[in-house]
């Protein structure tokens, strides 16, 4: 604007109006004319006046003429020079002004270019701002986050499309209303006033959850981040809220928590919830009684009738017991094991509760197509009398439970401090068993088996032996502990492996049968068949010389799987013998289902056959039944000549016992054709 004003002033000042330049020619001519006229009029008179003589004046006329020419020329020179000087000065001034004008013009052009450039940049900025606005509007309205802008009265100023999509309120109907009154359930306490109070501390509020209800009544769980801001134009304070719908995540989280803390089958609390409850009671120093429940021989129900029926029973049992003992907390620990927590009561109350539990458990349970009569064993421990930590209480309850099972099951046992010494003793034995396995500290003895019609030795039973300094107990006691600790499988494999080594080293030239005992643990292992087959291949031993002895007790657990393994062993060519026949109620059932080669009559029957008619009849009937089934019989524990004679007359094929031979080390078997040497 200033440059334009200067240009206009310059042009106005140098407009050619009545300037000296414009009037200069006429002035010169006029002066010249006046001087010429005055010269003509007065020069002669002046000469006559000066010289008085006309003839002289006439003579001076020429000189007067030259003088006139010279003087007028001189005058004209000065007049023209003066005029030229003015023209030159004016021209110079005009040139300078023209230069200034050109400078102004160039500056104006530069300013114009700069202005055009600024206009272009301004347009670009405006376009960029428009793009930014569209971009922000697009983000604002396409984001999956709910955005609400509201004033300090809680009234909505602006909402985005996600707000409408989620809560079903159009922006035009929501703006101006208080969001807490519009969206919050009545019980929800997180109102706008509460939010503002929290914002006063830090101007922002992060990871803030609440529940909101949409226009159609649908409920949402929302996670908010809120920040207090100011309107950039007016400076008015307001709040912007960014919310994410976490309803689905909360539902999944609740499901995960349920899975984490609830048993899926019974709906009871699981071991995680149990541990938290116990820790909470211990922390609050609340006395309580812990009951550890485990069904007796429940595995038989699953094996015979299937896990689905077993699950049906466990579910029904859990519901009935939790309803009947509603004042106690019940949890499923694992499998058929349950835990119950009750408030501290006296011993009479505990006895009454256990009587009720045993009665409820032992009743007839009708499961689909069958009736089931279960029994349960319970271990009981008390806090803080017996222990002050979760681990200690669980260990106490477990020891009491195992004591209850060893006492004959279907009963309950209180924890006593003596149990701990028993466990410590078992632990010591466990360590010694491991050492004996790793360092081959066990030994094998062989007891001859005699054929009664000619008293010839047809084979040997392999028996485990050890130094009493290492184990101050009987072999039966050690085997029982090994079954508890789970080491029995390792012992079995050591015995099988060492037996095959002895056969290969000392008995390959004989036809003796070698009978090897296998525990129920090994018999339920899917790898035992492959293990024995590998040894047969490696040693080249005739499988018909190997006889695997099984106890009736070992057949109880997982009968279907056991039968499958027995058949696999039979397919290898190995003989199968049933040991300790008559000590379990189901013996005849096993005889009808399992392809035994030999039946061993338990020593408890043989001891009485001479003096007890009933026992003698039982043994005779067992022998007759076995002969009819095509199963050979071996009498165990023959300790007298009379027993041997009776068994021979009854038709028993084989016998073993102290009367015939005691178990002996392999180096003492040379009388029976066993080769000992390098």
Contact 535, 514 (CB under 8 A): no
- What is Dmax (Cα atoms) for the chain? 221
275-309 exposure pattern, b = at least 16 Cβ within 10 A, e = fewer: bebbeebbeeeeebbbbbbbbbebbebbbebeeeb
pLDDT at 17: 46
**301-309 contacts at long range (C-beta below 8 A, 24 or more positions apart):** 301/372, 301/374, 303/557, 303/558, 303/559, 303/560, 303/561, 304/559, 304/560, 305/367, 305/370, 309/367, 309/368, 309/370
Q: Specify the CATH number for 144-252; select among 3.10.180.10, 1.10.10.60, 3.20.20.80, 3.30.450.20.
A: 3.30.450.20
Contact 322, 330 (CB under 8 A): yes
- 453 against 24, higher pLDDT: 453
What's the CATH code, domain 426-672? 3.20.20.450
Q: What whole-number distance in Å separates Cα of residue 539 and Cα of residue 342?
A: 60
> Is the pLDDT reported for residue 556 higher than 70?
no
Q: What whole-number distance in Å separates Cα of residue 549 and Cα of residue 396?
A: 36
Would you give the DSSP letter of residue 602?
A: P
Q: What whole-number distance in Å separates Cα of residue 202 and Cα of residue 209?
A: 18
pLDDT at 14: 47
Over range 357-369, report the average pLDDT: 89
Over range 345-351, report the average pLDDT: 86
pLDDT at 318: 94
Return the SS3 of 657: coil
Q: What is the mean pLDDT of the chain?
A: 85
> Is the pLDDT reported for residue 120 higher than 70?
yes
pLDDT at 16: 44
Contact 48, 57 (CB under 8 A): yes
Q: Which residues contact 80 (CB under 8 A, 6 or more apart)?
A: 28
Q: What whole-number distance in Å separates Cα of residue 348 and Cα of residue 368?
A: 37
**What angle do helix axes 613-629 and 641-650 make, rounded to 10 degrees?**
40
Range of weakest confidence among 141-150, 289-298, 328-337, 489-498 = 141-150
Q: How far is CA 636 from CA 71, 622, 633, in A?
A: 182, 13, 10
pLDDT at 204: 82
Q: What whole-number distance in Å separates Cα of residue 287 and Cα of residue 281?
A: 8
Contact 340, 360 (CB under 8 A): no
- Convert the pLDDT of each residue in 262-271 to its tens digit: 888 999 999 8
Would you give the DSSP letter of residue 659?
A: T
Q: Which residues contact 544 (CB under 8 A, 6 or more apart)?
A: 573, 574, 575
- 255 pLDDT band (50/70/90 cuts)? confident
What's the CATH code, domain 269-415? 3.30.70.270
Q: Reduce the secondary structure of 178-227 to three states and give it as a string.
A: EHHHHHECCCCCCCHHHHHHHHHHHCEEEEEEEEEECCCCCEEEEEEEEE
Q: How far is CA 588 from CA 201, 477, 557, 629, 660, in A?
A: 84, 28, 17, 11, 29
**38-42 contacts at long range (C-beta below 8 A, 24 or more positions apart):** 39/68, 39/72
- Convert the pLDDT of each residue in 9-33 to its tens digit: 544 554 444 455 555 566 667 777 7
Range of weakest confidence among 119-133, 232-246, 557-571 = 119-133
pTM above 0.85, yes or no: no
> Is the pLDDT reported for residue 274 higher than 80?
yes
- 169 pLDDT band (50/70/90 cuts)? very high
pLDDT at 4: 52
Distance from the Cα of residue 289 to its chain's centroid: 34
- 207 against 359, higher pLDDT: 359
């Amino acid at each position: 604007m200033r440059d334009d004003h200067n240009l206009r002033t310059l042009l106005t000042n140098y407009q050619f109006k009545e300037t000296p330049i414009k009037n200069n020619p006429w002035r010169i001519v006029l002066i010249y004319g006046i001087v010429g006229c005055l010269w003509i009029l007065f020069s002669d008179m002046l000469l006559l006046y000066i010289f008085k003589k006309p003839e002289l004046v006439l003579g001076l006329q020429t000189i007067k003429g030259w003088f006139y020419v010279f003087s007028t020329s001189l005058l004209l020179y000065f007049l023209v020079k003066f005029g030229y000087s003015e023209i030159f000065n004016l021209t110079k001034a005009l040139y300078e002004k023209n230069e200034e004008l050109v400078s102004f013009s160039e500056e104006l052009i530069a300013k114009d270019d700069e202005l055009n450039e600024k206009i272009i940049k301004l347009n670009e900025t405006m376009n960029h701002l428009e793009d930014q606005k569209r971009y922000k509007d697009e983000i604002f309205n396409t984001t999956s986050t709910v955005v609400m802008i509201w004033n300090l009265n809680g009234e909505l100023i602006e909402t985005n499309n996600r707000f409408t999509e989620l809560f079903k309120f159009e922006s035009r109907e929501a703006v101006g209303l208080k969001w807490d009154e519009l969206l919050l359930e009545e019980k929800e306490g997180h109102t706008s006033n509460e939010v503002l109070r929290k914002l006063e501390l830090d101007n922002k509020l992060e990871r803030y959850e609440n529940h909101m209800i949409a226009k159609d009544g649908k409920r949402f769980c929302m996670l908010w981040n809120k920040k207090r801001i100011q309107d950039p134009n007016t400076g008015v304070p307001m709040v912007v809220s960014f919310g994410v719908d976490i309803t689905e995540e909360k539902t999944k989280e609740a499901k995960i928590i349920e899975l984490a803390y609830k048993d899926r089958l019974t709906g009871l609390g699981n071991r995680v919830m149990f541990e938290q409850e116990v820790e909470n009671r211990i922390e609050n120093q609340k006395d309580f009684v812990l009951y550890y429940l485990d069904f007796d021989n429940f595995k038989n129900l699953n094996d015979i009738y299937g896990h689905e029926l077993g699950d049906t029973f466990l579910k029904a049992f859990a519901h009935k017991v939790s309803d009947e003992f509603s004042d106690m907390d019940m949890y499923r620990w694992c499998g058929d094991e349950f835990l119950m927590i009750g408030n501290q009561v006296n011993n009479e109350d505990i006895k009454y509760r256990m009587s009720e539990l045993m009665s409820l458990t032992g009743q007839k349970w009708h499961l689909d197509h069958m009736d089931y009569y279960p029994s349960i064993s319970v271990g009981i421990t008390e806090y803080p009398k017996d222990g002050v930590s979760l681990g200690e209480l669980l260990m106490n309850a477990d020891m009491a439970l195992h004591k209850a099972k060893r006492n004959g099951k279907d009963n309950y046992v209180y924890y006593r401090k003596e149990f701990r010494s028993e466990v410590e003793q078992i632990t010591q034995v466990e360590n010694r068993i491991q050492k004996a396995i790793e360092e081959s500290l066990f030994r094998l003895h062989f007891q001859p088996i005699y054929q009664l019609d000619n008293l010839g030795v047809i084979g040997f039973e392999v028996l485990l032996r050890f130094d009493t300094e290492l184990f101050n107990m009987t072999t039966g006691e050690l085997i029982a502990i090994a079954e508890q600790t789970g080491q029995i499988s390792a012992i079995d494999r050591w015995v099988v492996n060492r037996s095959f080594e002895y056969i290969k080293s000392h008995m390959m030239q004989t036809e003796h049968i070698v009978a090897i005992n296998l525990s129920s643990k090994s018999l339920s292992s899917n790898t035992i068949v492959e293990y024995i087959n590998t040894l047969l291949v490696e040693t080249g031993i005739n499988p018909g010389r190997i006889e695997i002895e099984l106890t009736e007790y070992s057949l109880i657990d997982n009968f279907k799987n056991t039968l499958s393994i027995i058949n696999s062993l039979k397919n290898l060519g190995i003989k199968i013998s049933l040991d300790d026949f008559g000590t379990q109620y189901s013996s005849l059932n096993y005889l009808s289902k399992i392809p035994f080669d030999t039946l061993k009559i338990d020593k408890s029957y043989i001891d009485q056959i001479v003096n007890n008619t009933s026992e003698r009849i039982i043994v005779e009937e067992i022998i007759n039944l076995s002969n009819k089934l095509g199963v050979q019989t071996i009498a165990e524990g023959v300790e007298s000549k009379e027993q041997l004679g009776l068994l021979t007359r009854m038709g028993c094929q084989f016998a073993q016992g102290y009367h015939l031979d005691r178990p002996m080390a392999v180096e003492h078997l040379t009388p029976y054709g066993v080769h000992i040497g390098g």
